[in-house]
């Protein structure tokens, strides 16, 4: 089994060092136009002047948004991820600051701060997540918007006594394959996403990433602590209704005047 951090990776890049960043922009999946375009459509619609992406990554969303003429800044922990933004269409217009979104401040008052692709869960303490909301509010002008996209924990698929939910089991045709599963601690709201990949020669890798889940109502309370109120909660980027069967949400809070 290999470690998640390979030779040449900088520990300061956290869970997204060079060896991860190198494959992050692979075509398909979260990079497919049918995934990216609806996100950029909504953000362009909400933007009313400068916007800021927390955890901007490789610019998967920020670059195409900037390419539409929206002025975009970003905060990102991993230099390896951020290094890829400028080479994308629109990416050279994105102003990136390396830092932690719980504390890092950039100059300006923004119309919209957004944090997508489950990344609020990468902050693994409640205090840290509250700090993300506080920091978002500190960057917003009065009436400005904070948007979060995050999946709901799959707790409804956990029978009593079980703590693990597989999300993909894909044996390869010859041998080896891939197994992905989440493991939950419902007492602490900590969970891990686990990725086991085995090649046909039997060699494998195991990548385990820590997260913290929070129910939408807990996020609403964090927003209230930070001086914001809920404006919208959708089930997805198509602005569909959030229901008991929703598996994720796109939530938007407004900074109180």
Q: Which of 111, 119, 135, 251 binds ligand SAM (CB under 6 A)?
A: 119
In this chain, which stretch among 111-119, 201-209, 214-222, 225-233 interacts with ligand SAM, using CB under 6 A? Answer: 111-119
Q: DSSP letter at 130?
A: H
In this chain, which stretch among 57-65, 167-175, 221-229, 247-255 interacts with ligand SAM, using CB under 6 A? Answer: 57-65
Distance between CA 251 and CA 231 in Å, rounded?
A: 8
**Residue 131 DSSP SS3:** helix
Please report whether residue 16 would count as binding ligand SAM according to CB under 6 A.
yes
In this chain, which stretch among 43-51, 69-77, 170-178, 240-248 interacts with ligand SAM, using CB under 6 A? Answer: 69-77
Alpha-carbon distances of 48 from 172, 181, 230, 256, rounded to whole Å: 48, 40, 18, 17
Distance between CA 245 and CA 71 in Å, rounded?
A: 36
Of 99, 114, 129, 100, nearest in space to 212 by CA: 129
**Closest distance to ligand SAM from the beta carbon of 30 (Å):** 6
Are β-strands 248-255 and 140-151 bridged in parallel, bridged antiparallel, or unpaired? Answer: antiparallel
Please report whether residue 70 would count as binding ligand SAM according to CB under 6 A.
no
**Closest distance to ligand SAM from the beta carbon of 203 (Å):** 26
Please report whether residue 25 would count as binding ligand SAM according to CB under 6 A.
no
The nearer residue to ligand SAM, 75 or 228, going by C-beta atoms, is 75
**Closest distance to ligand SAM from the beta carbon of 155 (Å):** 21
**Rg (the chain; Cα; Å):** 19
Distance between CA 71 and CA 93 in Å, rounded?
A: 8
| Residues 90-109 interacting with ligand SAM (rule: CB under 6 A) | 100-102
Please report whether residue 140 would count as binding ligand SAM according to CB under 6 A.
no
Please report whether residue 123 would count as binding ligand SAM according to CB under 6 A.
yes
The nearer residue to ligand SAM, 101 or 140, going by C-beta atoms, is 101
Sequence-separated (6 or more) residues with CB below 8 Å from residue 55: 75, 76, 77, 101, 115, 119, 122
Alpha-carbon distances of 175 from 168, 179, 248, rounded to whole Å: 16, 13, 34
The nearer residue to ligand SAM, 81 or 250, going by C-beta atoms, is 81
Instruction: Name the β-bridge partners of 147.
Output: 114, 252
Please report whether residue 136 would count as binding ligand SAM according to CB under 6 A.
no
Please report whether residue 55 would count as binding ligand SAM according to CB under 6 A.
yes
* Residues at the contact surface with ligand SAM, assessed by CB under 6 A: 14, 16, 55-57, 60-61, 75-78, 81, 100-102, 116-117, 119, 122-123
């Amino acid at each position: 089994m290999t470690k998640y951090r390979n030779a040449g990776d900088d520990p300061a890049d956290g869970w997204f060092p060079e060896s991860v960043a190198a494959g992050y922009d692979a075509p398909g999946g979260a990079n497919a136009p049918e995934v990216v375009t609806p996100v950029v459509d909504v953000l362009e619609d909400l933007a009313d002047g400068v916007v800021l992406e927390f955890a901007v990554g490789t610019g998967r969303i920020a670059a195409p948004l900037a390419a539409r003429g929206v002025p975009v800044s970003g905060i990102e922990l991993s230099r390896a991820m951020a290094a890829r933004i400028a080479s994308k269409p629109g990416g050279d217009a994105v102003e990136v600051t390396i830092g932690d979104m719980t504390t890092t401040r950039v100059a300006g008052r923004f119309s919209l701060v957004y944090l997508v692709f489950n990344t609020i869960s990468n902050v693994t303490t409640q205090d840290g997540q509250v700090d993300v909301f506080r920091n978002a509010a500190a960057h917003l002008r009065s009436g400005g918007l904070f948007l979060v996209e995050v999946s709901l924990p799959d707790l409804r698929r956990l029978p009593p006594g079980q703590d693990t939910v597989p999300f993909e089991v894909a044996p390869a045709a010859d041998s080896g394959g891939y197994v992905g599963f989440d493991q939950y601690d419902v007492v602490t709201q900590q969970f891990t996403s686990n990725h086991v990949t085995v090649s046909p020669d039997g060699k494998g890798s195991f990548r385990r990433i820590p997260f913290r889940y929070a129910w939408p109502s807990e996020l609403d309370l964090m927003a209230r602590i930070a001086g914001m109120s809920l404006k919208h909660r959708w089930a997805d980027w198509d602005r569909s209704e959030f229901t008991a069967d929703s598996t994720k949400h796109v939530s938007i809070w407004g900074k109180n005047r």
